[in-house]
Structures are given as structure tokens and as C-alpha cells.
Amino acid sequence: MIRQIIKKQFLVLWRNPVQLLLLIALPIILIFILGCALNSFMNGDTPEIQAKIAIIEHRSETEQLDQFLLDMNGRTDFHKENMVNMEKALPILTLKSIFNTEALSEMMEVEEVSVSKKEEILNDNSYTAVIEVPEDFTYKYLSHTLLNGDEMAELLVMGNEQQQIGAGVIHSIIENFQQQLTLGTFLEQKGLDQQIMSLSDSLLKSKRTSLQQNKIITAKDYYTVGMAVMNALFIASTIGTIAFREKKMFVFNRIILANMSKWMYFSGILCSAVIFTFFQSCIIYGFAWLIFDVTWENMFAFLIITIAFSVAVGGIAVLLTAISYQMHSETITNFFSGAIVALMALVGGSFFPIGDSSELIHVIGNFTPNGSGMSAYLSILRGNSVQEISSHILFLCLFGVAMIIIAALTFPKKGEMV
């Protein structure tokens, strides 16, 4: 008779294509949208930057250098031999060379623009940033560096608010450049060789060894699991809703009058939820394998997790059924599907790896069936063994058994069934 109840539940669901579509198609659509939209973010990819920079010099650096040497002629506090290194490392020349390096030249286009075109450039949104070099910038820099002058040289950097990422990168480069100038000034004033700023490449080379040689979880991997475990919870509410409607339509009463044990019906509801959850998971993961190449290397572990998770969902389904029968209302089922599922999905990490930001939330998430199931699935995707996820499998099984026991105690007795 349990088989007949399972068949009946399947036929009811089959004749409701909208509900069936929500249970199968919705998670697939969400996987596609979230997996594609957040792929770069989840994978830690660096966004592609194409920046256009205008450099406006009010006076050429060579003229300022000549002017400085002319003004220093005859001064006793100036030693011309100090200019040997400085002539090779003039600030604006150095800045241009930084932007022309192989790494930055592919992302950034640098143009030298005359002062007369300043307003035109500032009104041109194609430029990511405009670097304006004051007329006496290099002169002040040389005076501060070689003569300990009080007046500091400053650049004016104007970023395009419509290109915030590119402008932010350029500001970071300028800030780092100014820090290097400050360090160079300090070394020059202390009479130290500025070559110590350029450490030998051999000292900086290091061998990067990964501490964990597991497979990297991509956005499509993550959201395949996240959406699958979240939408599996809707199986529980769907089965609970169908069971309560059968009570309202006196189908359950007719089953009891046919001398069938209520526990037979109870077991049929449980088995229906477990089987439907198992097949829903297999369909979703099968689609992800075909379309997104989400591959399970350890199929045995995958099946064990899916069965344990299906039992947990089955336990929720019979508990919702028992409570709705006891209350003579499907309010609890609607509340579960409308609010509890969203909360469990959030804490369990279906929408975002929220547990990475807080150890407490991570622990709480693993005490939800979807969170524990998700942790187990992701561990297998990384290449971990069944032994490493045994605690999650045990939790899912115990959770399912606990829900079944509570449901059995809550299920109305024969005299209470009206």
C-alpha cells in the first residue's frame, strides 16, 4: 500500500505542471543566472581594466632641471655630483616609465596633452583620469630632495567618477609612486644609495606552494549545490500541502475507513518526500553536469550525501504534515515555504558563502540540513573523502530521524482525526 500512496503523490504532482516546473526548472534557472553573474567574483578574477590617462605638464621637466642647475650655480650648499642619480630619476619621467611598463601598457593608454586642451580633456568622459603637473613640480622636488626645502611638490589627479574602478587603480599607482619618491628623498638626504630600493630579483623570488591541493570551487559549482539544497526544502512544503489538501477533501478519512493504518499513510508521505527529493537532486545535478561541467569524481560519496539529505527533507515533510493535521490548517506549511526556507538558505550559505565572514554563522549554518548538506557536497567537489564528511552525513541522518520521531508523536491519534 505504501507504493500506492507514493504513486498517488506522484500523480498529483505530475498533474500540477506549474508546481513541477517550480521544483525542477526554477533551481536550474537560478544556477544559470547566479553562476554566470557572479562567476568572476566567486573565482577571484581580476576585472579587465582599460584606462585612458592624460598627462598635462605646465612646463617641461627638462626646462625645470636646467633652471634648477642654473639657480644652483655658485651656491656652496649644493654639490653637483648629487645630480648624477637625480637626472636619471626625475619624477615625471619615472611616472611615465611606470605607465609604459609591459604590465600597465596593456591596460592603460597614456597621452601627453597641452595645457590649452585641459578643459576639453576634462569634459571628455573617455578619459579615466587626468594627471596635472604644476609648472614648478620638478623644481620643487629637486629643491626639497637636494636642499632640504620646506615646500613639497604635489601632483593634481582628477578621476572620472563614471569609471571608478580604473580611476581607483590609477590613484593607487600615484599614491605608491609618491611613497617611492618620499623614500627616495629620505635616502638621498641621508646620503644612502637609492639602489637599495631595487632589491635583487633573486631575493624576491619565492616558490609558491599550495597548502591545499584540492579542486577550486567555481561559482557554477557553488550555486549548483546552493540552489539544489535550497529548492529541495520546497519538496517538504509541497508534500505537506498535498497531504493537508487530501485531509480537507476527506481522502485521508477514506483511507482510514478502508482499514489502512495511519502509519502506513505516514510512511507513504515520508517515502514520497525522500524519493522526490532524491530524484529532484539527481535531475538538477545531472543538468549541471551536462551544461556547466559540474563533475562528481566520487559518485559513491555523492549518492550517500544525497540519500542522507533526502531523509532529512523527508523528515521535515512528515513533520509539516503532522503539524498541519494537528492544527487543522496549512498555515505552518505556508510559513515554512515563505519564510523559514529563505532564512535557512541564507544561514546555510545558498545565496552567498556567509559562513566565511563569521565562524559562528558557519557553525549555525551546519546545523541546518541544507547547510550541512551543502558543506558535504562542496567537500566532495574539492576532492575530500567520505571519512572527512562523515559528521555531516551523520547529522543529516540524525536530523531526519529526529524529525520523523517528532512527527510521529505529533501526528493526531485516531480519535482526533476529523
* pLDDT category of residue 334 using cuts at 50, 70 and 90: confident
Q: How many angstroms separate the Cα of 50 from the Cα of each of 42, 54, 89, 105?
A: 22, 14, 27, 10
Helices (H), 293-368: 299-327, 331-335, 341-348, 359-365
Mean pLDDT of 268-295: 88
**Strand pairing of 129-133 and 156-159?**
antiparallel
Judge whether 401 and 312 are in contact, CB under 8 Å: no
Mean pLDDT of 267-292: 89
* pLDDT category of residue 308 using cuts at 50, 70 and 90: very high
pLDDT in the model for residue 80? 60
* Chain mean pLDDT for the chain: 78
Judge whether 389 and 305 are in contact, CB under 8 Å: yes
Rounded to two decimals, the pTM is: 0.60
Cell numbers for 230 = 535550497
Backbone dihedral region for residue 44 (phi beyond 0: left; psi -120 to 50: alpha; all else: beta): left
Q: Which comes out higher in pLDDT, residue 198 or 63?
A: 63
- Position 40 pLDDT exceeds 60: no
Q: How far apart are CA 411 and CA 418, in angstroms?
A: 13
- Position 200 pLDDT exceeds 60: no
Mean pLDDT of 12-30: 80
The mean-pLDDT minimum among 155-169, 207-221, 335-349, 356-370 falls in 207-221
- Position 106 pLDDT exceeds 70: yes
pLDDT in the model for residue 97? 82
* pLDDT category of residue 203 using cuts at 50, 70 and 90: very low
Mean pLDDT of 140-161: 74
pLDDT in the model for residue 43? 55
DSSP 201-259: HHHH------S--PPPPPHHHHHHHHHHHHHHHHHHHHHHHHHHHHHHTTHHHHHHHTT
How many Cα neighbours within 13 Å face the side chain of 44? 2
369-382 helix and 299-327 helix, angle to the nearest 10 degrees: 170
Q: Which comes out higher in pLDDT, residue 345 or 356?
A: 345
Judge whether 132 and 56 are in contact, CB under 8 Å: yes
Sign of CA dihedral 358, 359, 364, 366: positive
Chain Cα centroid distance, residue 217: 11
User: How confident is the model over 204-260, as pLDDT tens digits?
Assistant: 344 444 434 467 778 888 888 888 899 888 888 888 888 777 777 666 666 666 666
pLDDT in the model for residue 78? 60
Give the closest residue to 99 by CA, choosing from 63, 135, 49.
Answer: 49
Judge whether 235 and 396 are in contact, CB under 8 Å: no
Amino acid making up residue 159: G
Mean pLDDT of 135-158: 75
